[in-house]
Amino acid sequence: MVLKTVTVEDILAYLGDDVLTVFGSVADRVIDNITDVARVNERSLDWINPDKEDKQTLAEQSKSKVLLVDSSIIYSSALRQQDKVLIVTSNPKYSLARIGNEFFVEKTIPSIHPTAIVSKAARIGANVYIGPYCVIGDASIGDDCFIDSNVRIYDGVIIGARCNVKAGAVLGGSGFGFERDKDGNQFRFPQIGGVVIGDDVEIGANTCIDRGALSDTIIGDYTKINNLCHIAHNNRIGRNVTITGCVNISGSSIVEDNVWIAPNVSLRGFVHLHRGCVVGTGAVVTKDIPENETWVGNPARKLEKR
């Protein structure tokens, strides 16, 4: 459990306009952790989920003395008697996430580790971190990117700002395209496209994103890709797409904005997932999926509302 002493006043200052009201006495109050429900203690910053039916009771029974709540929680005599502080925001979990990122997540100092091998022709933005044992070709990496250890980035990869590339990821490797020679043996079709990654993208550990064959592989802004995914050549992935663990996106597919792809899904090549659709765990997608529909199964079919 990460322990850091933070004053409630500093929290309120950081949240700024997010704070609708504060109940209880703030002076000299501190918290030193945020943690899961089983470990919440007197010095935790806790939060109450607005969707819970028994949220008032949860607030009153929390071991924590400082709580993030929404405006449906009443500053009851029980809360008052325990001298609890309520920080009221419209979205307590969002506020908790902001506080956690600001006060409890270790910040890395931008730097290029001396063991990272970076091509002289690479364009590296401002405030970039590149970890040990990375190998980076003639690529472009935007400002404020974090590239973890043992990452391989090939020539022709363009990465936007504030991206997070986790350990062991491989970006821009040759796509998997082959022809047969006159003896029927396979040989590589040239893979000379690029990879273009937007801003605020996350790429998971040991995930692979192949370069395009003759066109580019494209990943849109705010898209988050988890560990051990394979994104094949020529895919075009939109903005704010969520690609969870072990997903395989075969070549030349289109995934529009705000699509949500559950773990271990596989897409056949050349399919088109329209905006906002959801693909369930382990689904095998062999056809296009219309906007906002949820598909599951092998082969994937529309999940009818029950």
Positions marked active-site: 233
Judged by CB under 8 A, does residue 268 bind its own copies? yes
Least Å distance, CB 128 to its own copies, is 18
x/- contact string, 160-189, with its own copies (CB under 8 A)? ----x-xxx-x--xx-x-xxxx--xxxxxx
Of 62, 226, 235, 253, the one binding its own copies (CB under 8 A) is 226
Report, in Å, the least distance between residue 28 CB and its own copies.
25
Q: Which of residues 119-148 bind its own copies (CB under 8 A)?
A: 131-133, 135, 148
Pick from 26, 74, 158, 296 the residue near its own copies by CB under 8 A: 296
Cis previous bond, 110, omega within 30: no
Restricting to residues 59-118, name those near its own copies by CB under 8 A. Answer: 93-94, 97, 100-101, 104-106, 115, 117
Q: Least separation, in Å, of the C-beta of 171 and its own copies?
A: 10
Q: Which is nearer to its own copies, 35 or 82 (CB)?
A: 35
DSSP codes of every residue in 143-204? TT-EE-TT-EE-TTEEE-TT-EE-TT-EEEEPP--EEE-TTS-EEEPP----EEE-SS-EE-
5 makes contact with its own copies (CB under 8 A): no
Q: Mask of contacts with its own copies, 42-61, x by CB under 8 A?
A: --------------------
Residue range at the interface with its own copies (CB under 8 A); choices 5-13, 49-57, 63-71, 261-269: 261-269
Number of residues that bind its own copies (CB under 8 A): 92
